[in-house]
Chains A and B, each alone.
Chain A
Amino acid sequence: MMTNKELIIIGGGPAGLTAAKMAAEAGCQVLIIERSPALGGQLIKQTHKFFGSELTYAKTRGFDIAKLLIDDVMKFKDKIEIMCDATVVGLYPNHEITVYQKGVYSKFKATAIITATGASEKFLAFENNDLPGIYGAGAVQTLMNLYGVLPGQSIVMVGSGNIGLIVSYQLMQAGVKVKALLEAAPKIGGYLVHASKLRRLGVPIYTSTTIKKAIGKDFVEQIETVELNEKWEMVSGTEKLIDVDAVCISVGLSPLHQLLSMAAVEMKFVNELGGMVPLINENHETSYPNLFVAGDVIGIEEASSAMIEGYLVGLIAANRIGYHHPHYETLLQSYHDQLSNLRSGPFGAKTRIGLAKLRGETHAR
């Protein structure tokens, strides 16, 4: 049996929630489908205060932002329907999807779809990298900050981007010993303000150093680190052993593009955006009409930009369905401006280059 909907949003994180709110505000009926048991995406486990502007809740902790966004959605109970614990397993032409929820498959057809699936953590190749106890940084955040469970007693963090730095600090807040932070590049990847905080607390940060192998039988008990030269080659003789009961891998994220790839929209590999991303036009529309995208699925950024993209795309998708928001033009301009503003600094350079590569190839509608 096929159920018809006006707008379906895949993913209930920052992009999906803001898109739903904006579309509902314009008058559109919305269905949000979320894989996890609760809405909020990765914000629900983020205990740090955000940077950015007031509009994207700067100085507010991630989990509090999630509550605010969920409250916004709940104000439109008559317009927004929510399915949690529900995974979209198929995205087909004609805007049809298959959803798996608690043992049951169901099919929906929408006038427009917004894919806001977010991203997943990248992995790192080294010997025994599949041993239990080796976790993604986001997974460690989930375990600690959402469920209140410690990943281990003593840990090594691999990767010094902002996530690696922030999660190291959160591990210490939870009472875990962070034995070292390894960075393969010659310098720290994230903001120095985060790195200094760790240094003050006595965490050694080893640059030009990576993990060579993990040691253990049923779970990780020790790791071997190695220094890298300027050609990123391992320097033999520099190996060191560190006793750990967990290793945290924080080497970046990749857009969760699989549903879009399944729908056969035009995709491109853009390294600056984190991997496979859909080609989009200025409306955040893919090569398949009325299939829109918002958030990290079109390039790894911060939750702040995901929220603004969500508002923008919610506005556009509702308009396409026939619901013209009373402040459409003003809001549209404002969201475009906010996005360029967020991407204007030196840390936005990667996204600017990536998006330029993407936009160069989109088709005019």
Chain B
Amino acid sequence: MRIEKHPILTFETKKKINFTFDGQSFIGYEGDTIQSALHACGIKKLSESIEHHRPRGFYCAIGNCASCDMTVNNQPNVRTCITLLEEGMVVLSQKGKGVL
């Protein structure tokens, strides 16, 4: 679900970045945030709500609303919408509040 043609913007093909989400391998591109890479791969459900375990996706994409919090490289509550994707990242959907 990446934009291929656009009347105003150009998106150059950038370097591939390998990462995993819940144990599965995925590919994103340099400049992606974790969230934009996942969304491009069709992943909309990022985590679950703490109490009622309802599916959670991103909402604000500017690091404000906490809806996209996930566990990244063992660290919980990472705001994936403003965290740039890095090679080899291990991304997990977060269940519960997370422990530091």
The residues of A with any CB-CB pair to B shorter than 8 Å are 35-37, 42, 47, 61, 85, 87, 103, 120-121, 123, 130-136, 138-140, 142-153, 173-175, 217-219, 256
A120 contacts which of B2, B9, B49, B62 (Cβ < 8 Å)? B62
Q: Please tell me if the beta carbons of A148 and B11 are within 8 angstroms of each other in the complex.
A: yes
Which A-chain residue is minimally distant from B67 (CB atoms)? A130
A132 contacts which of B45, B64, B75, B81 (Cβ < 8 Å)? B45
Q: Provide the main secondary structure of the chain B interface.
A: loop
CB 8 Å contact bits of B25-61 with A (1 = contact, 0 = none): 0000001110010011000111001000011111111
> Contacts of B61 on A, CB cut-off 8 Å?
135-136, 138-140, 142-143
Q: Please tell me if the beta carbons of A149 and B2 are within 8 angstroms of each other in the complex.
A: yes
Q: Please tell me if the beta carbons of B1 and A132 are within 8 angstroms of each other in the complex.
A: no
Q: Which of B60-100 contact A (CB under 8 A)?
A: 60-65, 67, 75, 81-82, 84
Measured between C-beta atoms, what is the minimum distance from A55 to chain B in Å?
A: 24
Q: Please tell me if the beta carbons of B57 and A131 are within 8 angstroms of each other in the complex.
A: yes
B15 within 8 A of A: no
Q: List 21 A-B residue pairs with CB atoms under 8 Å apart, sorted by A's residue number.
A: A36-B62, A36-B82, A37-B82, A87-B63, A120-B64, A121-B59, A130-B54, A131-B55, A135-B59, A136-B59, A136-B60, A136-B61, A140-B61, A143-B36, A149-B3, A149-B39, A150-B2, A151-B39, A153-B1, A175-B5, A217-B55
Q: How far is the CA of A133 from the CA of B44 in the complex (A)?
A: 7
B7 within 8 A of A: yes
Q: Please tell me if the beta carbons of A47 and B9 are within 8 angstroms of each other in the complex.
A: yes
Measured between C-beta atoms, what is the minimum distance from A104 to chain B in Å?
A: 13
Q: How far is the CA of A187 from the CA of B74 in the complex (A)?
A: 50
> Contacts of B81 on A, CB cut-off 8 Å?
139, 142
The residues of B with any CB-CB pair to A shorter than 8 Å are 1-3, 5-9, 11, 31-33, 36, 39-40, 44-46, 49, 54-65, 67, 75, 81-82, 84
Measured between C-beta atoms, what is the minimum distance from B33 to chain A in Å?
A: 7
A148 contacts which of B3, B62, B65 (Cβ < 8 Å)? B3
* Contact status of A219 and B45, CB under 8 A, knowing A120-B60, A134-B59: yes
Q: How far is the CA of A146 from the CA of B62 in the complex (A)?
A: 12
Q: Provide the main secondary structure of the chain A interface.
A: loop
Measured between C-beta atoms, what is the minimum distance from B76 to chain A in Å?
A: 13
Which A-chain residue is minimally distant from B31 (CB atoms)? A147
> Contacts of A121 on B, CB cut-off 8 Å?
59-60
Which A-chain residue is minimally distant from B1 (CB atoms)? A150
Q: How far is the CA of A145 from the CA of B54 in the complex (A)?
A: 29
Q: How far is the CA of A261 from the CA of B49 in the complex (A)?
A: 27
> Contacts of B75 on A, CB cut-off 8 Å?
103
> Contacts of A151 on B, CB cut-off 8 Å?
39
Q: How far is the CA of A61 from the CA of B9 in the complex (A)?
A: 11
> Contacts of A219 on B, CB cut-off 8 Å?
44-45, 55, 57
> Contacts of A47 on B, CB cut-off 8 Å?
8-9
Q: Please tell me if the beta carbons of A218 and B55 are within 8 angstroms of each other in the complex.
A: yes
Q: Please tell me if the beta carbons of A173 and B62 are within 8 angstroms of each other in the complex.
A: no
> Contacts of B33 on A, CB cut-off 8 Å?
37, 147
> Contacts of A149 on B, CB cut-off 8 Å?
1-3, 36, 39-40
> Contacts of B40 on A, CB cut-off 8 Å?
147, 149
- Name the residue among B2, B9, B39 with the largest chain A CB count within 10 angstroms: B9
